[in-house]
Amino acid sequence: MATDAPPPSKEQHRLPSTEEFAEVQQSAEFGELRRSFRSFAFPLTIAFVAWYLLYVLLSNYAGDFMGAKLFGNVNVALVLGLAQFVTTFLIAWWYSRHAAAQLDPKAEAIKSRMEGGA
């Protein structure tokens, strides 16, 4: 059975001590990494949950609005429901780009320093 996973690395990585983990956690570099993640993820999560709850509330309490026909058998509820899927994929794509550009390089630098002892 073939898999797409790369073969395991033959390099031996040094395991950091508990004290080293605590030291890195207190470092400015790690704080910046955490800030960069939180400043992106938290506002988007809050916005998406609010958008989702708006859809649920409109579905429950604004039936006439949600049932309004836009064209043919397509109503507001269907369009907003499909927009939920679109925004989910857009947020995932946007986060992937943000992580690749901002988070992954910082995290990799910290990881390689900890494993390599540099």
**Residue ranges for the chain with pLDDT beneath 50:** none
Query: pTM of the entire structure?
Result: 0.73
Q: What confidence score (pLDDT) does residue 11 get?
A: 65
* Residues with Cβ within 8 Å of residue 59, at least 6 apart in sequence: 66, 77
Q: What confidence score (pLDDT) does residue 16 get?
A: 74
The H or E element spanning position 49 is helix 28-61
In angstroms, the CA 115 to CA 28 distance is 19
In angstroms, the CA 18 to CA 26 distance is 13
Q: What confidence score (pLDDT) does residue 13 get?
A: 66
Beta strands in 15-86 (DSSP E): 69-71, 74-75
